[in-house]
Structure 1
Amino acid sequence: MTIQQIISPEVTEPAPGMWSNCLKVGDTIYIAGLTARDKQLNAIGNGEYEQARVIFQRIEYLVRAAGGSMADIVKINIYVTDIAHREQVWKARREFFEGAFPVATLVEVSALAPGILVEIEATAMLGQGGRP
């Protein structure tokens, strides 16, 4: 089985030699922890809801570039700097998933990159999105 890097024109890739945003191994898609930053690496979005929404949209772009859909996502890990604002992340999540949601982990961390309040990583199984 080969590892294929998946790139979407809507998602800025890190500098060469850093990491990959998305890799496809067989029918499994691994998406790195994404944040809400512009091309100059400045934080975008005011608050957890807006940042999470930007991140979920980027995850969708990468999953689609790999030939899947958000329904194929089976696992998400969410990192927040203030767990008291988790409802804002969940509000954004509900805009991208329906039916049986992916399994999820939510963890409060002491810090992320400057201005970043949320980071989300995801795993998807292509063609497996037929859940109720």
Structure 2
Amino acid sequence: MQRKAYTAKSATSSGPYSHAIDAGDYVFFSGQTAKNTPTAKDLTGDIAAQTKQCFANLVEVMEEAGLSHEDVIKVNVYLTDMNNFNAMNEVYKTYFIEPYPARTCVAVVALPLGAEVEIELIAKRSN
């Protein structure tokens, strides 16, 4: 299978990976942090602002793939501090409506670039 990749113009990669890979009906999106932008600001301690930037990056990649938040079926959220769970959720729920996508949220020791939240997702193309 030849991989078809999508890349956002204003998001950067912090390693050797694609922003998203098209697998036919499904598109798999790599995790995005607030620091995956060329103009990244230091948002340390502001989990709401970091979460918004994660979604801004993901939305741009989704648009490149011809998808929207309505196509998202699974989300994985990684937090370096579960005390940020509620603040992340407040932003998260502004991007989706019920029924919400399936989701996993886990605490991790650290994230690339010193980020405090990273979000990845899977979307399904409408037939």
Q: Quick check: TM above 0.5?
A: yes
- For structure 2, the 5+ residue unaligned runs are none
Q: Secondary structure at the match of 1:63?
A: helix
Give the Cα–Cα distance (whole angstroms) in 1 for the partners of residues 102 and 49 of structure 2.
22
Q: CA RMSD in A?
A: 1.9
Which residue is equivalent to 2:71?
72
CA contact (8 A) 1:68 1:127 kept: no
Tell me by how many angstroms 1:13 deviates: 4.0
Give the Cα–Cα distance (whole angstroms) in 2 for the partners of residues 48 and 61 of structure 1.
20
Q: TM-score, normalised by structure 2?
A: 0.87
Distance 1:31 1:54, change over 3 A: same
Q: Which amino acid aligns with 1:69?
A: S
Distance 1:26 1:2, change over 3 A: farther
| Number of residue pairs aligned between Structure 1 and Structure 2 | 125
Tell me by how many angstroms 1:43 deviates: 5.7
Matched, 1:6 2:1: no
- For structure 1, the 5+ residue unaligned runs are none
Matched, 1:110 2:112: no
Give the Cα–Cα distance (whole angstroms) in 1 for the partners of residues 111 and 14 of structure 2.
16
Give the Cα–Cα distance (whole angstroms) in 2 for the partners of residues 94 and 122 of structure 1.
15
Distance 1:125 1:49, change over 3 A: same
Which residue is equivalent to 2:23?
25
Percent of aligned positions with the same letter in both sequences? 26
Q: Which digits, 9 at most, give the CA deviation of each residue in 1:55-102, with x for residues without a partner?
A: 011111111110111110000110001101101111111121112111
Q: Secondary structure at the match of 2:89?
A: helix
Q: TM-score, normalised by structure 1?
A: 0.84
CA contact (8 A) 1:5 1:22 kept: yes
